[in-house]
Amino acid sequence: RSGNVTLSVLAEHGAHEGSVAVFANTLGLDVRASAATARTGTPFRIDVIASAPDIGIDVSSPIPWERVGASTSIDVTAAVPGTFPVTITASKRGYEPSHETLSVTVEEYAILDVSAEGTDGRALGMRNVTLVTRAHDGAAPEREISLPWRREYRDLASAEVEFPQSHGGSYALLEVTVNGEGHAGGPIALSTGGDTVVRAVYDRSVTVGVEGGPVSGAGAHAYGSLVTLVAEPVEAVPLLAYGVFEGWEGLPEGAAVEGNTAAFAADGDVSVTALYRQDYTGALVAALAAMAGTALWRASRRHGGVSPAWALGEAARRVRARAWNR
């Protein structure tokens, strides 16, 4: 400490007393903030610089702090906004202790991250998502945002987001998660106590169109599901003409085909054609029967009775003759 100290000297032949002035070195101290303001929940660095090395520091702070390694810097972290006095005391032997108080202003910031993706893994760049944000000192108007959306807000009082129920004709809203917690569709109120991540998940559907004949399994399918198409026989004219299935056109690569059945994964819209050929076996049999009946009737009138086998053979001969003359 500085001041005057009285010294007494004793000797064999007397004593002497005197006053000696004592002084301490002045310890220069500079306290510097890393930024103008701090953010809630984020460490805020304060650097302590002294005019002498190897100093000791003591901190008086209403908000939590910790020393940065072996340095003379400290980090303070506030959970709520406000202005807080942080006092630094530096000391070293042979020096007068030095004090410095720094006012730390803490503001509340929040990052709002909004995006959408399909069950097929694609990120959806939507432009019709409704977002309403309100600050403590007023309200912002409703607006439509384009995804992905990422903004930093200060002094955010409340927020609300709403996603469209469908997108692009192939996607239907499945669920919305806010910081990992699931929510149903409709306007969703968001907590503004910190960073918020909003994810909308849309169910992707695949359209399988089929032409050419009656095929089961066509229509809308969930993305990634197994599509099974079954071609059915076609009765063009009852009991006379039939459409017989012969194959497929337009099946996606890798489709498994067995007989009149085709199976493949629903990973994209597809248009398939079922190929049929006409089978007139029924009509031919009917024609033979009619001709045989006519021949049998005529022969019976001429000859008084004939064999049915002869009549059938005669009908077949006439059919062959007609086919030959065409």
pLDDT for position 174: 92
DSSP 13-75: TEEEEEEEEE--EE--EEEEESSSSEETTS-EEEEEEESSSS-EEEEE-SS-EEE-TTSS-EE
Domain ranges across the chain = 25-107, 109-204, 212-279, 282-325
The model's pLDDT over 64-87, given as tens digits with 9 standing for 90+, comes to: 999 999 889 999 999 888 999 999
pLDDT for position 300: 57
How much is the average pLDDT of 165-180? 91
As a whole number, the mean pLDDT across the chain is 81
pLDDT for position 143: 82
Neighbours of 256 (CB within 10 A): 11
pLDDT over 70 for what percent of the chain?
73
CATH architecture classification, 25-107: Sandwich (2.60)
pLDDT for position 44: 95
The model's pLDDT over 178-225, given as tens digits with 9 standing for 90+, comes to: 998 988 767 898 877 678 999 999 999 999 999 988 899 999 999 999
pLDDT for position 326: 44
Task: Using pLDDT thresholds of 50, 70 and 90, give the confidence band for residue 168.
Answer: confident
pLDDT beyond 60 at 283: no
pLDDT beyond 50 at 274: yes
pLDDT beyond 80 at 280: no
Token pair in block for residue 101 = 């108080």
How much is the average pLDDT of 102-126? 91
Sorted by sequence, the CB contacts under 8 Å of residue 142 that are 6+ apart come out as 130, 131, 132
Does domain 109-204 fall under CATH 2.60.40? My reply is yes
109-204 has the same fold as 25-107:
yes
pLDDT beyond 90 at 5: no
Task: Using pLDDT thresholds of 50, 70 and 90, give the confidence band for residue 175.
Answer: very high
154: left (phi over 0), alpha (psi -120 to 50) or beta: beta
Q: Please indicate whether residue 157 or residue 120 has the higher confidence score (pLDDT).
A: 120
What is the C-alpha to C-alpha distance for residues 108 and 179, in angstroms, rounded to an integer? 18
Task: Using pLDDT thresholds of 50, 70 and 90, give the confidence band for residue 22.
Answer: low
pLDDT for position 12: 66
pTM of the predicted model, to two decimals? Answer: 0.57
pLDDT for position 323: 42
DSSP 76-117: E--SS-EEEEEEEEEE-TTEE-EEEEEEEEEE-EEEEEEEEE
Q: Which range has the worst mean pLDDT, 138-142, 171-175, 180-184, 262-266? A: 138-142
How much is the average pLDDT of 19-25? 60
Q: Please indicate whether residue 185 or residue 139 has the higher confidence score (pLDDT).
A: 185
